[in-house]
Amino acid sequence: MTARVLIVAGSDSGGGAGIQADIKAVTMLGGHAMTAITAITAQNTLGVEAVHAIPTAMVSQQMRVVAEDIGVDAVKIGMLGGADTAMAVAEELISGVYGETFVFDPVMIATSGAVLADAKTVAAMEVLAELSTVVTPNLPELAALCGREALAEDAVEGAAVAYAKKAKAAVLVKGGHGTGETITDRLVTEHGTIALWEAPRIETRSTHGTGCTLASAIACGLAQGMPLEPAVARARDFVRLALLDAPGLGQGHGPMGQQAVRNDGLFTGPALNQITLPASDYAVSVAYYKQLGLTQIVDSPANGYARFEAINGVTLSIHVHEGVGDSAAGGATTYLESGALDAWVAYLARRGVRFETMPADEDWGWREARLSDPAGNRLCLYQAGEYRRYPPWRV
């Protein structure tokens, strides 16, 4: 059954954040997005020019009618528009018709710097936090929720644990507002950090809607039955790929590229995403596949290796390396991708599938396991995430 995600948030006329980003994320991850719009904003990539709050009764009615007819597997709560709306949303959630899976993104300040929640609204957010499965503040928002102006780097975990105890919810602290070249996201409960992710900062001005997209992607994962930690991990991968796929629109903080994310290990697998074919002449083969209409994304003539991408994100490689590995005679290798490689391989091994090599990290950033089918055809099960389409050596 398709996962049903109800999104309670504001509308962004520029299409970068809010309801628009939420719908893109849920749709691209295979869910059905429903909405209760709390406010209409006049904004673009340069900033928010005006906010018009939707009457509280109308917000509640939007929520109730879709829940009663279509049903809800998870709720994502974003920009609320005012304290009265925050309390009305909480009252709706308590009614029991929305399930128990709530992802709360405590939106207070837009990427452009515009203030989207006053002190009274921030206070009302406490009620929603206590109802939530997970709260997803960035560093300034966590500080505000803890009643501080700012948090030192070594105080983040302690503040998050204290807030998790208070809210009785998991807290995903987003590290994008931190300093340095590495971004650290931390999933915390009252018992401490239960998962931590570190990744290189992606240098782009197209960051509008990152928080909205992340929270909605998590909600979609939870609605699809994923445990919290894998749902967060997949959501992070989705956000990073959407940043890398950003179309570069507008003069300020532009929208992300949710619509361009394709089969990049965002599912537990298997997904047929890569085939490597043997080649005898590097230049001739490269020219041939370009002529077919594929886009070359890796060009390494010294290694006899090139990779091409189709419009749906599936890739094909050629490799000139006579008699060895992927390019031996008849040496095509099919690559099946998974966002949960180790669990997938363990599942297969328990059922008698024999592997030549078990999952191992490779120098090029992929994690791979190798095996052959009954006819001797070579297979590679792998996990690459953003490095499949966006490796450091991409053209």
Known catalytic membership, residue 357: no
Structural domain boundaries, residue 132: 4-260
Of 177-181, 184-188, 270-274, give the range with the top mean pLDDT: 184-188
CATH number at residue 130: 3.40.1190.20
Q: Within this chain, do residues 209 and 101 fall inside the same structural domain, yes or no?
A: yes
**Stronger pLDDT, 112 or 355, i.e. the higher one:** 355
Q: What pLDDT does residue 107 have?
A: 84
- Average pLDDT across the chain, whole number: 90
Instruction: Give CA–CA dist 236/242, Å, rounded.
Output: 10
Strand partners, 37: 9
CA proximity to 11, closest of 84, 89, 107:
107
- Cβ proximity of 48 and 41 under 8 Å: yes
Q: Within this chain, do residues 338 and 372 fall inside the same structural domain, yes or no?
A: yes
What's the whole-number mean pLDDT along residues 297-326? 82
Instruction: Give CA–CA dist 122/82, Å, rounded.
Output: 9
Instruction: Give CA–CA dist 53/277, Å, rounded.
Output: 57
Q: Within this chain, do residues 12 and 48 fall inside the same structural domain, yes or no?
A: yes
Known catalytic membership, residue 207: yes
Residue 23 covered by a domain: yes
* pLDDT digit string, tens, across residues 228-287: 999 999 999 999 999 999 999 999 999 999 999 876 667 777 888 889 999 989 999 999
Q: Within this chain, do residues 54 and 166 fall inside the same structural domain, yes or no?
A: yes
CATH number at residue 278: 3.10.180.10
Q: Within this chain, do residues 100 and 237 fall inside the same structural domain, yes or no?
A: yes
Known catalytic membership, residue 211: yes
CB atoms within 10 A of CB 182: 11
- Output the six-digit token pair for 239: 């956000």
Residue 265 covered by a domain: no
Residues 6+ apart with CB under 8 A from 392: 365
Residue 266 covered by a domain: no
Known catalytic membership, residue 209: yes
Residue 72 covered by a domain: yes
Does residue 15 come out as left (phi exceeding 0), alpha (psi in the -120 to 50 range) or beta?
Answer: left
Instruction: Give CA–CA dist 309/335, Å, rounded.
Output: 14
Instruction: Output DSSP code: residue 325.
Output: G
Q: Within this chain, do residues 254 and 369 fall inside the same structural domain, yes or no?
A: no
* pLDDT digit string, tens, across residues 345-369: 999 999 999 999 999 999 988 999 9
- Cβ proximity of 240 and 386 under 8 Å: yes
CA proximity to 215, closest of 110, 119, 103, 307:
103
- Cβ proximity of 221 and 227 under 8 Å: no
Res. 389: pLDDT tops 60: yes
Q: Where is the domain boundary, 229, 260, 291?
A: 260
Catalytic residue among 78, 174, 175, 213, which? 174
Confidence of residue 111 (pLDDT cuts 50, 70, 90): low
Domain count, the chain: 2
Q: Within this chain, do residues 256 and 376 fall inside the same structural domain, yes or no?
A: no
Residue 215 covered by a domain: yes
Instruction: Give CA–CA dist 328/330, Å, rounded.
Output: 6
Residue 242 covered by a domain: yes
Catalytic residue among 133, 189, 207, 333, which? 207
Q: Within this chain, do residues 83 and 126 fall inside the same structural domain, yes or no?
A: yes
Catalytic residue among 211, 221, 257, 269, which? 211
Q: Within this chain, do residues 8 and 107 fall inside the same structural domain, yes or no?
A: yes
Mark 124-135 as b/e (b = at least 16 C-beta within 10 Å): bbebbbebbbbb
Known catalytic membership, residue 250: no
Instruction: Give CA–CA dist 333/76, Å, rounded.
Output: 41
Q: Within this chain, do residues 227 and 160 fall inside the same structural domain, yes or no?
A: yes
Q: Where is the domain boundary, 194, 229, 260?
A: 260
